[in-house]
Every structure is written in structure tokens, then in C-alpha cells.
Amino acid sequence: MQALKTSKMSEWPKRNKGRVCKDRVVSGDDASETTYQNEDSMGSGREGRQATLVAAAQMTSTLDKYHNMAICDRMARRAAHRGALMLFLPECCDFIGSSAAESSFHAEDLDGELMKAFSKIARETGLWLSLGGIHERGPNWKIDKRYYNSHVILNSDGQLVSVYRKLHLFDADLPGGESLRESEFTLPGKSITDPVSTPLGKVGLAVCYDLRFPHLSWKLREMGAEILTFPAAFSTTTGPAHWEVLLRARAIETQCWVVGAAQIGRHNPCRASYGDALIADPWGRVIARCGDGDDICIAELRPETLHRVRRGMLVLQHQRKDIDS
């Protein structure tokens, strides 16, 4: 595993009293100034502040559940050692199969061995865990072999506190000829899950391709989310073009932190993922990013950052609900 990276604190627009300039309110001593200043360098210090460190993981899952679990375990211990309160693991942190039949065979119920092992990691490290996407047996699994792509939240006692089942399934024909048909083997979820209260704030749950549906993110914001999560196994075709842009766009428009844990590299001869696990702040800045291979990155989420962005631009209130169709 690579050395862990801790983000530098997010820079933030210089905090000045607003003053009225004709009919505009201008922030800053110079109206044309677009200086950004790191709040840490403003001597604010961290005394009296509760550290709220979050960790996002990047890994290369294979079919070997035990090997994948060992990677997750190592990353959790590193994250806990660095003082993180919660670790976000990517989609398919349980395993990645090379066929629907293989994935179905390895799918488990939420009270299976896999969940017991993740629960033990949460308990032993004292971390909250986001299991970004695991293969959960559907209600008729014995007959139809179908499973959900489920995002599970465990608290630091190892208890399951929330489950979201991926709503948007990735059926796509990609440039270069690759075709993916997630709906052929995965059952779609039926509902949005209420944001979960965690020590970091309220976490809104999504999975991978859900990132492309802004109304889901917006709905989660309206439901109280402060942190949006898009655990992913993004394709190597769409990743370079869309991954960071979409994550930052969701952060900016919802004024939430966005955590993008990610699969990276080659999982088997027919499947590879893009990677670039990152964390963006509510201003849309990337405040932490993983390196190559199995890695974690850590960022501090300071409530005042979110409050300042939301106070400055009242996008929730400015919606034109009166003309929405």
C-alpha cells in the first residue's frame, strides 16, 4: 500500500464583511479580488474544534473475498491510526466476478459471513464503515440467482444502520465497443434511503452510475444530506472523461462534501476500473485524492465550511418550484 495522503486544508474564499457596491454586494476589500486563502494560515488553529476526518479508499478487488477483506482490513487500520472517524470503501469491496454466474454464486445475505467480517473490522478499529457496493442476494436468489448492488453503512459497534440498493443500473454501450448490462443480473432498488446520521454528518447514499442522475443527489440534499457518497467501479472509458467532473458538479450543485471511493486497475482478464478515489468539498474543490493502487486518502470535514457555502448561496431556497413541471 502506498503512503497515506492527508489533504491540505481546503482553501476557502477570503472571509470579509460584505459591503454594498451600487446594487451589488461585493465580498472583499477589492471588488475584483478573487484571492483564496487557506484558513489554516489565518491562525484559527484547531483548538476547541472537533476533528472530523474522513477516509476514502481505492482498491483492486478480485474474486478472492478473503484477499479483498484483508485489503479492507489493512486500510481500516491505517485510517483509524490516522484519526479518521469513517472509512468509505468502493463498490464491489466484497469481490468482482468475471461473469454474472460467478458474482451470483458469491453473493450473500446481509447476515452472512462477509457482513460478520466487516462488522468485526468496524468494531476493532472503532470506525464507521461505508461498504460502497456489495452483492446482496435478492429475495428469490435460490431460483433466479439475482442480487442487489447494496451500499451498507455499519457503525463503530459493527451494527448495520442503513442499506441502500442501487437504483440506476449501468446498461451502456461504450465507445470502443464495450457493452455492460448490469440489469441482466442485478435487481434494481426501489427507493431512496434517508441520509444516515454519522459522526461526520448526514451521509446520503448512492452507488457508482447513480452519480449521473443529479435529481437523486438533489433529493438527498433536500432530505438533509451533508455528505454524498458515490462508491464506484467506473469504467476505464468513462472515468477519464466524466468521473472527476461529475463528482465536483454534484458537490457544487448540492453544496455537499462528495466522497468517491473507487475500484482501480485490473480485476480479471475482462474487467478493469478507472480509480482516482477522491473527496471534494461543498465548493467543489478536490481536497484529497488517492495515489496508485490500494490506497486511502484523508480529509477534514469542517462544519463551518459547509455552512459558509450554504449561507452564501441559497440554492435550496432559490429553486423555482412554482414552475417545476
Ligand X SMILES: O=C(O)CNC(=O)[C@H](CS)NC(=O)CCC(=O)C(=O)O
With H, G, I as helix, E, B as strand and everything else as coil, classify residue 80: helix
208 classed as catalytic = yes
State the nearest-atom distance from the C-beta of 167 to ligand X, in Å: 11
- Residue 115 near residue 83, CB atoms below 8 Å: no
166 classed as catalytic = yes
Residue 91 or 136: the one with the smaller Cβ distance to ligand X is 91
Residue count of the chain, please give it: 325
The count of chain residues that interact with ligand X, using the rule CB under 6 A, is 16
- Residue 68 near residue 133, CB atoms below 8 Å: no
Site for ligand X in 85-144 (CB under 6 A): 91-92, 96, 103
Q: Residue 194 phi/psi, 5° resolution?
A: -55, 135
Site for ligand X in 291-320 (CB under 6 A): none
Q: Which residue, 162, 158, 184, is CA-closest to 171? A: 184
Q: Is the dihedral of CA 113, 117, 122, 128 positive or negative?
A: negative
Site for ligand X in 270-289 (CB under 6 A): none
With cell 478472492, the residue in question is: 64
Residue 91 or 295: the one with the smaller Cβ distance to ligand X is 91
State the nearest-atom distance from the C-beta of 117 to ligand X, in Å: 19
Out of 208, 256, 290, 297, pick the active-site residue: 208
Cα distance between residue 161 and residue 165, in whole Å = 14
- If binding is defined by CB under 6 A, does position 229 make contact with ligand X? no
- If binding is defined by CB under 6 A, does position 68 make contact with ligand X? no
Q: Which residue, 111, 201, 117, is CA-closest to 150? A: 111
Q: Which residue is nearest to ligand X (CB)?
A: 238
Residue 313 CB burial class (10 angstroms; 0-12, 13-18, ≥19): middle
- If binding is defined by CB under 6 A, does position 182 make contact with ligand X? yes
- If binding is defined by CB under 6 A, does position 170 make contact with ligand X? yes
Q: Which residue, 213, 278, 224, 277, is CA-closest to 250? A: 213
State the nearest-atom distance from the C-beta of 280 to ligand X, in Å: 17
222 classed as catalytic = no
Residue of the chain from 65, 74, 212, 219 that contacts ligand X (CB under 6 A): 212
The 231-270 contact track toward ligand X, x by CB under 6 A, reads --xxx--x---x----------------------------
With cell 442522475, the residue in question is: 213
Out of 92, 108, 166, 300, pick the active-site residue: 166
State the nearest-atom distance from the C-beta of 226 to ligand X, in Å: 24
Nine cell digits for residue 121: 473490522
Residue 234 or 257: the one with the smaller Cβ distance to ligand X is 234
- Residue 200 near residue 227, CB atoms below 8 Å: yes
Interface residue list for ligand X (CB under 6 A): 91-92, 96, 103, 149, 170, 180, 182, 208-209, 212, 233-235, 238, 242
Residues designated catalytic: 91, 166, 208
